[in-house]
Every structure is written in C-alpha cells, then in structure tokens.
Copies of this chain bind each other. A is one copy, B any other.
Amino acid sequence: MNLKPSLLNAPLSVINVGVDSFNASVSAHGGSVVQVNWQPPGNADPGLAWRLAQLLGDPGDPASVGSRIDQANASAVQRVIAAQPVLVDVALHARDVWPDMDRTLLHAGAPVAWDDMCGPMHGAMIGAVLYEGWAESMAQAQSMLAAGEIRFAQCHDYSAVGPMTGIISPSMPVLVVRNQTHGNLAYTNINEGIGKILRFGANSPEVIERLRWFENTLAPAMRAAVKARGGIDLKSIQSQALLMGDEVHSRNVAATALFFMQLAVGLSQCDIERSQMHEVLRFVADTSQFFLNLSMAAAKATMDAAHGIEYSSTVTAIARNGVTTAIRVSGLGKRWFEAPSGRPQGLYFPGFTEADANPDLGDSAITETAGFGGFSFAASPALTLLAGGSIAASIEYSRLMYQITDGRNPANSLPAMDFAAAPVGIDVRKVVDTGIQPVVTTGIAHREAGVGQIGAGIVRVPMACFVKALEALAQTYLPL
C-alpha cells in the first residue's frame, strides 16, 4: 500500500501536540485538528528537565534513584491508606497540650513576618490577643504584635492545622485526633460557622464572645461526649460523606450530620446540663462546615504518618499564609517550598468581586494532600457550581488529579466515576512532568481584616512550589 498519495489526497486530519498556533493553518485549508495539550517537562528549562528525567529514573533498574523514589512513594501512599484517624479527645486549652506555648499564636501556612501578613491574618491575630486578654484595645493589640511582643509559629510545626488564618492561641480548645495505625497525634481548633469569624479575620466582640463560649460550654461538652463514645472514627465519616455529596474540604454537610449523630448519642450518655446540651447541639446542627476542622486534623494525622520517608517525593502538606502557598515533601524534612498565593476563582457573595479577594489562605489544603477536596471533586456535585456548573467539569478535575498522584485510596470512592477509588499521594515529579497543578477547593476571604468570607471557589497550587521541591530532591538524592 502506498501511503503517501492517499494521505495527501484525502481530507487532512491532524493531531497537534503542544503549541496550538499550528492549528489555524490546518483549519484554514479545510483540515480537521485535534489539539493535545502538552508542554515540555520542566517548564522548558533543559536543566530542570534533565534533573526530572534522572529523578523519574529507569523503571528497569531497581537501584536507580527513580526506582528508589517510586518505592518510597509507594510506602508513603501505603501509610496514607492504612491511617485510621479518630477524634480521641478535646483539650480544653491549647496550653494544656503545649505547656511551653506562653504568648505564642499559631497560624496557617509558612512563616511570615507581621509587616508582610495579609489583612485577615492581622485581624485574626488582633482578635486572638484580645481574646487572651493580653491587650485591652485593638490599638494596643496591634502595637504589641508589631513590636514583636507576641511570638508567631506555624500550626504545622505543632502537628496542628487551622482553616483560613488558622489562629490557635493558648486559651483556645483544640480537637485531638489520633492516627490509631501509626500512633501520631494531630490538632486543630473548632469551626466557628459563617459570618463574622476569627478565621476570616473578624475580631468584633461577638467573635470573641463565641470563642469564650467554645472554651466554657462547647469544648467541655464535646470532650465528655467523645470520651463517652470511646472516640469518634473520622475516617469512616469521611468515607461515607464522599458517598453523600461532600468532598470533605469545602462541603461537609453530610460529614457534619454524621458527626452530629455520634456527638448527640455521646452527649445523651453524659451528665451535663440540659441547656448546655441544647446550645451545643443547636450550634453544630447550624454549622454545616463544622466537620471541616475535623477533616483537616484527620488529614494531618494521616499525612504526618507519611512524612519523613527517605527518597519520597510525596507532598505531605499544602499550606497558605495568605501571602504564599507552601508545600512540604515527605523526603525533604521540614522545609517549605513557597511561591506567591493565587487568588481563588469561584462564586462571590453579592457585592464582592475577585478584586476584593485575599490571596489563597489556610492550612485546609492538607485535605487535598490526603486525597479529599479538589482530588475528590467528582464526589460533590453541589460544589460543581464552583467549577463552572457542570458535573463533567468536576469529574474532569478528579481525572486530572490521577495524573499527578501515585495511588488510589480504596476507602474513598467517587460515586460519579462509578465508585473509582479517589487519587491520593501527590508526586512532585508528576506535577512538574505533566504541568498539571493540584486543584484545591477553598473559601475566599476579603483582603481586609474584619470583613470575613466573601465567596468560595477553586485555586491551583503554584507550579513554582513543585519546581523548587524538585530542585531540592535533585540536590538531596541525585549523585553529584
């Protein structure tokens, strides 16, 4: 068969890979083109591409660096899948957990100096200083913070996570989650609901009042109920909630209801005041994101068990301080790989636009590292509106995430994808190789302190975080 004449005589059908400017000339002459999106690995940096190739290694050679990374990542994913996070306690004060805390405020994301912090972080810190009684006015609080009289630290360095500003101050109660498989603990604060709330930077008297109610009423009741139930299995709630329209990051309606059932049964076993029980149940029933913090702590307890595996390029944390987005990698210790945070795209509450949005903020993307949120987007049709309104779009996000992960978690199935096991274990190498940035579902904070939440949407983790992490992997693990 002579191919050449028939190829040139028949109508032209072209598959174009990469740069799409070639397509126009084909179309103009009556040909049909299918575009395949592709870009050279390593952002077209030949040095980076070469190091990536070495880190990907030779699958036929088990002693190659690439194979050792593969094995380390398989072990990391195995630890993620085997994790069993359980809410085992509610500490009435953070300082009970960390006695040396003194005047420290834990916050979300990587370290950031007072002058560089975003508006909501300033607002929340001022609120926490007032709540602690370290200052009597906002002005006094602000000058103490600016003068360095308050120490800052990362939630993540205390095995903790906090949504949005993520502030944990010494008097705040913290939820204590234990990974029953690996024995490690993780901590988080309590979800305040919507409206004026500290985690979005509000600090008015009602915000402080609610935090005191947490300390005096909610936390002791939750503590008693959790003890009465012998702990509450968070992994089981997460798995069930994925079958009920949650991705357990930005939607937790089902997970909160399932948690509420355990809480209420537990409370009814305890000797607490009827009015206290009523206040607590009503608050949780009215707070559809109540489970968010628990989902985060479950994810933190899970991912910490996968951290510190030599050679592993598995991402074990994604955290945003409102200025930068930072990642940690299992085989690279406690270093953060940072880049400026993007602004989420999504739906804004009436009267607000993207121009009002603070750059991406909060430790909640820990859920994505554990396979929830954007990675389980297909589980949550109701969140689809954030992705442009079609079920197909949310399925497409999950589909893409399979390309940058090393495993699938059989405990997490995606109903809309015929119950496929959700992708888990972000591999730094695959992100750089494919150019596909992890998808995160997220709330959107106003950029000024005190305004609070103005919308919800999605954000992509900056590619620069992964390029920096890849360079560090090369420096650490490739032979000189």
Contacts and interface: CB of A to CB of B under 8 A. Distances in A.
A476 to B, nearest CB: 43
Instruction: Count chain B CB atoms within 10 A of each CB in A282, A381, A418 and give the residue with the most.
Output: A381
A168 interface: no
B260 A264 contact: yes
A114 to B, nearest CB: 42
B416 A381 contact: yes
Given A243-B382, A244-B245, A381-B243, A268 B260 contact: no
Contacts of A245: 243-245, 254, 415
B415 A390 contact: no
A135 interface: no
A216 interface: no
B260 A415 contact: no
Nearest to A385: B419
Contacts of A271: 274
A268 B257 contact: no
B260 A269 contact: no
A401 interface: no
Given A261-B260, A390-B418, A268 B244 contact: no
A262 B285 CA distance: 8
Contact of A278 (B257, B269, B278): B269
Interface size on A, as a range, is: 20 to 34
Instruction: Count chain B CB atoms within 10 A of each CB in A261, A285, A416, A418 and give the residue with the most.
Output: A261
A202 interface: no
A277 interface: yes
Interface string A370-400: 0000000000011010000111000000000
Interface string A229-268: 0000000000010011100000001100110111011011
A52 interface: no
Nearest to A270: B274
24 contacts: A243-B245, A243-B381, A244-B244, A244-B253, A245-B254, A245-B415, A254-B254, A254-B257, A257-B257, A260-B260, A261-B264, A261-B281, A262-B285, A265-B278, A268-B277, A268-B282, A382-B415, A384-B415, A384-B418, A389-B418, A391-B415, A391-B416, A391-B418, A416-B416
Interface of A: 240, 243-245, 253-254, 257-258, 260-262, 264-265, 267-269, 271, 274, 277-278, 281-282, 285, 381-382, 384, 389-391, 415-419
